[in-house]
Amino acid sequence: MNLEAWSLFSLLEPDFVKNLRMVCVFGNSGNEAHLVTQSDDVYALGSNAASCLGLGDVSSTLTPKKVKHLCQKGSIHDLSFDVMFRGHNGYCQLGNATTNQGVVPALIPGCLKDKKVVEIACGSHHSMCLTDTGEIYTWGQNTCAQIGSGTTNNQSSPRKVSSLFGGRKVVSIACGQISSIALLDTGEVYGWGYNGNGQLGSGNNINQLSPCLVIALNTVVISKVVCGYAHTLALSDEGYLFGWGANSYGQLGSGNKANSCSPTRVAVEIGRVVDIAASHYNNISAALTQDAKVYMWGQCHSQTVPTPILTPFQSLHEVFARFGCPGVTFAPMYTMIHSGNSLMNALKLAFDDATTSDFTFVVQGRDIHVHKALLKIRCEHFRSMFQSHWKEDKDTSLEIEQFSYPVYRAFLEYLYTDELNLGTEEAVELLDLANAYCEPQLKKRCEGLIQMGINIDNVCMLYATALKFDAQELESFCFRFSLNHMTAVTQSESFDQLDERVLKDFILKAAQYGAFKT
């Protein structure tokens, strides 16, 4: 993501920007930010409302200043390597057992001391964190039961939320303004807190003191949940998008402005969705589809957009930077620097450039112009091929017969740019290539692409493909998907076409997981 989309960063020095790894824009006006460098130093920038920048004072700053208490604390991700908070604390949202305002980051005491936190989420005045063992801890304002304690008393220090989960593992959390959502490893969704707009998906407008199952989603498996100011979006493992809650700006994407107390499938017209985004700061929603198109809807620059519209953007972050009110990041953003004279841009321009190349691959009658030196640096297969004693090193071209032109071109372009411009269907052939050329990183990228296109009709075929190429992450994903849709999968054509040995092993493994219990 290019930082130029945010005016807040327009005064940053180019040399400083080049060293950034992650940024987070926040605040009621989108005028505050934290920036993490490659060397794990943390800087702050902006208006510093309620000392939220953690600089030790209340002064605003147009230039980045070090947050000394967060620097060199290890590899920060989600801004939660250690759970530290600062800023306004009138409702105990800092979790430090007081209501005193924090001007510098402080480690939260008590029950989180020995816990590894993997995700954090904040509402208006309450906070949640998720540990690596799937436990949720909450604290802060609780007037509408948003911390899930079973009461409406504010909570000044972290408290474990355990009721009604039955020992099952929570894998993700999200906060609305005064509501909370949890996603379990079973694909179930729970909500609690304020429900005046139906944002808990319970079918009514009654606040929930404790986590309440979203029953209307019991026929689908949810893989991701996000919260806006007062609405919720959920993405199923089949790429279906559901929305519920407030809709006065069209933020549900249903084509109208009527609130919904129960999950409703929305944005059907944009096709399979692979990622979604929303923020409790605003009423805008965004989605990334399987064909890498970015859509947005809701309150876009104060305009009401009730139906998803296609944008020219390449990132969900750009939707929030250019059309969010305020323009915050919906999640920590990993930076990507663009410069006309950069090495990366030079390599991009060099790919398939006949004027500078010294070797040509001919695939299905079409030329792809490359540079031997770069291929030898980037790929062990070509390092072996272009050795002085081999015929290929003296040749200027080579015909490739075992792979298609789009796939081989995408592979070579990947070596130049580290980017994969390929659809999920062609990724199966690229996985074959990555396996043949012993490219483990490319193999993982292919597995991720293929996962985006998995459905009931092809999951068994892709499961067999994963076994063939020892693609363990893809195999695990296909198997879990099959378990979640076992009845439909066993009735599919691809299930009937499974090799006898693969089919036997699949059935035995599924039986061990209780798939056929009566």
Contacts 24+ apart (CB under 8 A), 267-270: 267/241, 267/243, 267/295, 267/297, 267/308, 269/308, 270/295, 270/308, 270/310
How much is the pLDDT for 30? 84
How much is the pLDDT for 334? 86
CA gyration radius for the chain? 25
Q: Three-class SS of residue 423? A: coil
Q: Residue 414's Cα: distance from chain center in Å?
A: 22
Q: Three-class SS of residue 207? A: coil
Which residues is 227 bridged to in the sheet?
A: 232
Pairing type for strands 303-310 and 294-300 reads antiparallel
8-state DSSP, 492: S
Residue 365 φ/ψ region, left for φ over 0, alpha for ψ in the -120 to 50 degree band, beta for the rest? left
Q: Where are the beta strands (DSSP E) in 301-385?
A: 303-310, 333-334, 359-363, 366-370
Length of the chain: 518
**Blockwise average pLDDT, block size 10, the chain, 518 residues:** 82 90 88 90 88 85 90 62 44 50 61 85 92 92 94 91 80 96 96 97 96 95 97 97 98 97 97 96 96 96 95 94 92 69 82 95 97 95 85 84 96 94 89 96 95 95 95 96 95 95 94 80
How much is the pLDDT for 70? 83
Residue 385 φ/ψ region, left for φ over 0, alpha for ψ in the -120 to 50 degree band, beta for the rest? alpha
Distance of alpha carbon 286 from alpha carbon 354, whole angstroms: 40
Name every residue whose Cβ is closer than 8 Å to that of residue 329 and which is 6 or more positions away in sequence. Answer: 23, 24, 25, 26, 279, 317, 320, 321
Going by C-alpha positions, the residue among 146, 134, 160 that lies closest to residue 207 is 146
Contacts 24+ apart (CB under 8 A), 459-464: 459/485, 459/489, 459/492, 459/494, 460/489, 460/492, 460/494, 460/495, 460/497, 460/498, 460/506, 461/494, 461/497, 462/428, 463/498, 463/502, 463/506, 464/498, 464/499, 464/502
Q: pTM for the whole thing?
A: 0.85
Domains of the chain are 343-512 (3.30.710.10)
Which residues is 225 bridged to in the sheet?
A: 234
Residue 271's identity, in one-letter code, is G
8-state DSSP, 269: G
How much is the pLDDT for 110? 66
Going by C-alpha positions, the residue among 171, 55, 193, 59 that lies closest to residue 125 is 193
Distance of alpha carbon 44 from alpha carbon 297, whole angstroms: 30
How much is the pLDDT for 74? 61
